[in-house]
Structure formats: C-alpha cells, structure tokens
Structure 1
Amino acid sequence: MKRMLISCFAAALLFSPGWAVAEAKGKQQSKPKWVDKNKDGIPDDWELKYKLGLGKNVANQDKDRDGLTNRVEYNLRLNPTKTDTDKDKILDGDEDTDRDGLTNSAEVALGTKPEDADSDNDRVKDGAEKKGKAKLSNVVQKLELQIKTAANQIIKVGYHWSERHSHLHMKDQTGEVTASDVQALISDLQASPSLPNDQVIAKIQTLFSLDTPFRLELEWKYGSGRTRKLSVKQSDKGNTTGQPGDGEDDDDQDDDEGHDQDDDGKNSDSPDDASDE
C-alpha cells in the first residue's frame, strides 16, 4: 500500500505544471548559446578565438590571404590565420574539402559552395557541372604567359577568375595580341585539358602570330587544382628545347603589372605602356 502511494505521488509530481516548467528551464539552460553581435553568420567566440575582431566586414576578410574569406574558412572548419591548416603542404585554397573535383578557391571564384559537393542539389557534383562545353573542373582558374619574340619584344598575359568574372592583365609590345586571342587559347585549354605540350605551343604560335625564334613560359591552373607548366625556346630551325612535363606546383603570386580587363574584352593597356626587358 505504501509503495502504491509513493508511486502515485511521484507520478503526480512528474506530470504537475511546476515540474514541467522546471524541466523545460533545465533544458533551456543546457542549450549552448550562439552569440553573433555583428550578425555576419559567424559565432563571436570563433572570431575572438582567432583574433579577427567583431567588425561588420570580418566575414568577408581574408586575414591569411589564402583566397578564402573568414566565412568560408568557418564553414570549412579551417584556421583563418593559417594558409595550410592541416600542414599537409597543400594550401587551404587548393584543398578539395568536399571532394567534388574543384578546389576550395575555385569554388569561391565560380560561385559554388566549397563545403557542399552538389551546390545546386541536382545530383551532379559541382566539378562535373559544365560551363559552356567544359566541365567546371576543367575551367582555367589562372594563367600566366610570357613570350620574348624574335624581335626581342615582350608579351605578358595574366588571367584569373574572381567572383564569377575573369580578369585579364596584358602588356604587348608587338601590338598584335588581342583579348580575343587570349580567350581563344583559354577555351582550347579548357576543351582539351590533356592537350600535348607541342600542340599548346603550336596554338600559341598561331594565335599570337609568332615568328621563330621565340622564348615562351606558360603556367596554367584548372579548377580541379591541376597545374601545367611550359618553358620552351623555339629556334628558327623549328627545334624546341627546354620543354618539361606537366608540373603540379602552384604559383600564388599575382602579376600586378597592367590593368584589369573584364569579360568585355577591352584592353586597357596600350603597347606604349610596356617596358623593355
């Protein structure tokens, strides 16, 4: 009888309003607090942990200059003050965190989500999506080209993707190379990522109207992170020297010479602006 009374009393307490309120308060107190005073989508304690401050533009800053904003680094659980969070000798921007065939920095440039392998939820991985005829993994993210012509004139081209727009820097002492020529080269490299080196050289020679002899150095990087390099000297007899295989080393230094040129193809540099080397 006593046991029955004790059981009934315990049940009454369990289902009484006071007990329910106390239980609810206990649950509320156990929930972690997520404070975001500057309303940038990043917890304040994460920003303070890495000494980023609590300013209005913290989320869009790139303190370690690895090509990823603080917001992206937070979403990827990376250290926003180190260029190589896991110390594997691959920069955070060159990692493919979601394994979709695109590097983190390429995803930022192309507008896809580096933390989501299928940004648009169409059951096709981001790297397999297509831009025109080329897969996004084959899109040229960066290209650096320097040529010394038979007349000792210099041609310099710097190209990179940034926030869905291409930027082109050109210095051309010959006055013959146009933005359309550069775009045609990039389109060929995207359409055929495994194009043999000799065919790449032949395309450049044709597009840029190069007479022999000439010297050429080219490096380009795909959205997949693959990097290819060429360094050749073409003689007037048609002999080619110094033609290595494809490289995997990345060159993260931008060519600051020249002015930006967007997709409209207008070249803001004139041949007179180029300096002799």
Structure 2
Amino acid sequence: MKLLRYGPAGQEQPGILDGEGRVRALSGPDFAGRGVSLERLDSLRDIDIASLPVVDAPGRIGPCVGTVPNFFCIGLNYAKHAAESGMDVPKEPIIFSKASSALSGPDDPVIIPRGSQKSDWEVELGVVIGREALYVSEAEALDCVAGYCTINDVSEREFQIEKGGQWIKGKSAPSFGPTGPWLVTADEVGDPQTLRLWLSLNGDVVQDSNTDDMIFSVAEIVSYMSRFMKLQPGDVIATGTPSGVGMGMSPQRFLRPGDVMELEVEGLGKQRQEAVAAA
C-alpha cells in the first residue's frame, strides 16, 4: 500500500493511492503514532480501495506521517559520505535526533534559517516503526517496520559542526524534514537494501547511490537502537545519506534562495523543494 496525507498544513487528511495512481480518501485516524501501527495497517488491507471516494484535487501533499513521537537520524552511514566528510567510518551506528517540528511536506519550500551560510541537502531512506521494539534481534528487526519513505535530511553545517554541542542544532530548523510523499508499506518494498536514491540540484544530479552501500543495514539499525531505547509506532528513522552533499564538494556549495532540489528513493516517491530565505 502507498499511504499519504493531503491538504493544507495542519489540516491533512489520510489517503491511499489506487492502482491508477489516484488519491482515495480514507476515514479513521491520521497516520501518526499508533495510526501507523502494524495493526492499523493490517485493518486497511481489508478495504476495497475501489469503493473509496476519489479525491479529484488533493492539492498539497503533506508529510506521509503526522506529528512523530521521535525523529531519529543515523550519521555517516555510507562509506563514501564518511570519506567526503573527512571522518572515519563509524564502528557503531551514530544516532542523533531531529526536532519533530522540522517535519514538512515533500514539496513544501525549504526555509534557509536566519544566519545560515551552510544549509545542505541529504537524500535518505526513511523507516517508519510499526510496533514497539525493545531488545529485538536483527532477525526480528524488519518485522517492526511499518513502511518506508523518502526523506531530505536538510542540515545546516555551521550550526551542526562548528558551534559545538550536539548535531540536533543543525538538523532541526522548520522545514528541514521533508518526508514522503508516500508511506509505502514494508511488504510492498521488500528488501530495503536494494533501493536507488538520488538528488539533483537545479537539474544536476549530485547524489546517486544505492542503499546496498549503507554501512549499517536497516535491520542492524533497528536492532541496535532497540538496545538503548524503546522504539514506538510512528517513530521515523532517517538512515543516512550517500556522498554528494554540498559540504563534500570542492569548493563547497550550499543552498541559496531559488535553488531547487529534486530527490527520490526508488519506489517511494519523488520530492521537489525550492529553497527560500527565512522571513
């Protein structure tokens, strides 16, 4: 199933794509928290999609999940990205958080925050948790996943690296978490380690890789995180970005107002954002 949320910001409604790519309206809870639990998703499988009303003009597509309990990220999870960042390949997953208020729609503008000189792009495979996960093995880990989505983990490098403290400062500005357009259920994706992901800036492809290049797989990440915390339905994990970010270029290249990013993870839908200056 390809699930989505459509409508103005803060007023999104849940929907589902039919076989012809049309949005159909769903009733029931929003896709947030337990609204994306495995039990909820199983209940949707019994619905005759063709019987649902077609949404002729869905308008804006919102983030595929509503307010998330936790927005986690994995750092330096592609070897070539670690190399371009001048950092050693990590021996264990690097875990940090992104403020849930950074969540935004896949085509919403990315707002360059006040004082920013080094806002950057990062296409990533997103993982949405579907059931509580605590001390799960790698063999069990993918059974805890509700689905997958495309994420742009937008990052302000000066705030992240040069100002000290934790990375969350450079990851959390409003609009720095475009997510969606779809939450694609895990059964439809299959193996998450075989997906192409790419990002273009103003029409030029700058990131082009495959999730088979991840240092830590989705199963390893979920299992590892569950050793230290209880993952909950609705939690989102951005699993790291491949090489090609602006910080790694020579000379470095960061977002300017008017820049357009287009990005996609194979089978999970495409995003497009224009960078704009903060008011």
Q: Does TM, normalized by the shorter one, top 0.5?
A: no
TM-score normalised by L of structure 1: 0.25
Instruction: Return the structure number with greater relative CO, CA threshold 8 A, min gap 6.
Output: 2
Scaled by the length of structure 2, the TM-score of the pair is 0.25
Pick the structure with greater CA Rg: 1
Higher strand fraction: Structure 1 or Structure 2? 2
